[in-house]
Amino acid sequence: MQIAVPESFKTNILRLEPVNAVPWLEALPEQVAALCERWSLEPDGAVMHGGLSLVVPVKRAGEACVLRVAWPHGETALEVIALQTWAGRGAVRLLEVSYDADALLLERLDATRSLKSLPLEPALRVAGRLLRRLAIAAPADVPLLSAQAIQSSQRFESDWLRLGKPFSKRLLEAARLNAVQLAPDAQRLLIHYDLYDDNVLAATREPWLAIDPKVIAGDAEYGIAQMLWRRLEDMPSAARFWRAWDGLLESAESDAERSRAWTLVRLVDYWLWGLSIGLTIDPARCETIAAWLL
């Protein structure tokens, strides 16, 4: 039995790769069927998807799982390393992997309940505790934050100039200096730096589990920023922001000054990247948070 690929998923992929995506999408139903046969899976529900991944609910020997097949993006290996290292402690459990198909078989979580279902402060407390819990010794193959921070700092000014000086020189210099100063003594902890509402789902064996890890070996404080700009609509004032900030840092057991410094680095990095690809909402979010932090 072959699955039907949702039209909305096709649109996402075709927008990224209008030429190469066509044969990949055409072959996807057969690829899913082959993986189901290989891993003895039975389809068990409506096909879902994220931005780059098709997600098929399946069962194996009665166990509820999901088969995730991703558009080839070169990140599967790192994701597997992270999930294997955490081994289900605070994160979704990895059951099988196919590198050639960019496919993972994962335990099934509740895709209808993410941290979006919680008010701001409870959601940030959950995310903060998960960030700290997942921050264990990083395997050797995980990229180092210390090296990435230096590389980023070296291109900040040229990108800033190329994009028409979109923010103050003060912010640019603060981020550049923070990166240079923080890099030498950055820790080598396994950090899920994309830990926000949609990447934390309700589960049965634990209340909440992280999914879709984007990881780096560094300070836990590097993961703070993502949680903030994704819930900015719930922080309409500086006072509301600082209450959320304090609660998040407390739950994540994070150092305030180091969190502030890394967050400024990430804001500038993401702001410049977002402008370079035509984003509008996210750079505006970065601008708001940066103004409060400065």
- Annotated active-site positions, please? 194
Type of residue numbered 93: R
Instruction: Give the CA radius of gyration of the chain.
Output: 20
User: String of b and e for 151-181 (b: at least 16 CB within 10 Å)?
Assistant: ebbeebeebbeeeeebbeeebbebbbebbee
- Report in angstroms the alpha-carbon separations of 86 from 92, 93, 137, 279: 9, 8, 10, 33
DSSP 8-state symbol, 93: P
Interatomic CA distance for residues 102 and 97, integer angstroms: 8
Coil, strand, or helix at residue 257?
helix
206/91 Cα distance (integer angstroms): 9
User: Is residue 57 a contact partner of residue 42, using CB atoms and an 8 Å limit?
Assistant: no
Q: Which of 53, 82, 87, 94 is nearest to 70 (CA)?
A: 53
Q: Could you tell me the two tokens for 261?
A: 């410094």
Structure tokens belonging to residue 54:
């098709």
Rounded to whole angstroms, the Cα distance separating 273 from 148 reads 15
Closest CA to 260 of 212, 292, 217: 292
Amino acid (1-letter code) at residue 28: L
At 150 the three-state DSSP class reads helix
